[in-house]
Structure formats: structure tokens, C-alpha cells
Amino acid sequence: MAYKRDEEKFKNIAEERVEILFILAKKFCLTDVETAKNYVKAAVRIAKFCNLRLGKKKALFCKRCFTFFNSENSRVRLNSKKNAVEILCLNCRYKRSYGYGTEKNTGRGNRNTIIIQNHNL
Ligand SMILES: [Zn+2]
């Protein structure tokens, strides 16, 4: 049981650190792109190690090359056929899309909305 309690404590610390790293990445994303990339890499590494969900933060960086998006290195378009937001990374041309307009898993007692609220995004 002690192990489980420790794990929860670690998760809280990890969440805090990921939050801080993303704030720092946002601070540096216009001036120093490489530093921002390193912060994102560190945040993703922590999240993977502690089984954290990044949630909406996934839309802030490129999945392939870890660039933190700003107005110069990304392009955001709405695809009305797929009902999706498409983010194109201009560094590596990786396109990421996520849906809009539809709610997922509405039959499960709004489980998704509760998770999003807990993350304080
Ligand atoms: Zn990229």
C-alpha cells in the first residue's frame, strides 16, 4: 500500500513539472526554438515515465520532431469534410488532426469531460 501512495505523490510532482516545462517552452518558443524543443522533450519524457495524460497539450507541439508550435513553424486549418482541426508542422511536414463538433463517449456519463476538468487546461 505504501508503494501506491508513493506513486500518487510522484504523479502530482510530475504533473507540476510538466506544467512548468510547458510554460517555459511557451516562453522560449518565439526567441529560442531549440530550447523550447528541449523543454518539450523533457516534459514528454516525464509524462511517459509516470503514465500521465497530456490531453489538450498534445496540440501544442509536434509529435515527431517535438517543436513547440508558434505562428511561424505551424499551420492550422479546419477540415470541414472530416470535422477536424489539422495542424501542420512546417519543420518536418507532419500533420496532426483532432476532431471538433462531436462529443466522444457521451453514453459513459461524461467521463471525458471530468478528465479534462481535472487537468486544468
Ligand atoms: Zn515536426
Q: Which three cell numbers stand for residue 23?
A: 510554460
Residue 33 alpha carbon to ligand 1 centre in Å: 12
In tens, the pLDDT along 39-82 reads 999 999 999 988 888 888 888 999 999 999 988 999 999 999 98
Number of compact structural domains in the chain: 1
Contacts of 67 (CB under 8 A, 6+ apart): 33, 36, 37, 40, 61, 73, 74, 89, 91, 92
Q: Is the pLDDT of residue 99 over 50?
A: yes
Residue 69 alpha carbon to ligand 1 centre in Å: 9
Q: Where are the alpha helices (DSSP H) in 1-120?
A: 2-28, 33-49, 111-119
Distance CA 72, CA 90 (A): 8
In a domain, 61, yes or no: yes
Percentage of residues in the chain having pLDDT higher than 90: 48
Q: What pLDDT sits at residue 3?
A: 63
In a domain, 16, yes or no: yes
Distance CA 47, CA 61 (A): 14
Question: Do strands 95-99 and 84-89 pair parallel, antiparallel, or not at all (unpaired)?
Answer: antiparallel
Residue 7 alpha carbon to ligand 1 centre in Å: 32
**β-pair partners for 96:** 87
Residue 41 alpha carbon to ligand 1 centre in Å: 12
Give residue 109's pLDDT band: very low, low, confident or very high (50, 70, 90): very low
In a domain, 33, yes or no: yes
Residue 108 alpha carbon to ligand 1 centre in Å: 34
Structural domain harbouring 8: 2-116
Residue 109 alpha carbon to ligand 1 centre in Å: 36
Q: Which three cell numbers stand for residue 72?
A: 511561424
In a domain, 45, yes or no: yes
Closest CA to 121 of 51, 44, 59, 40: 59
Residue 78 alpha carbon to ligand 1 centre in Å: 19
Residue 99 alpha carbon to ligand 1 centre in Å: 20
In a domain, 121, yes or no: no
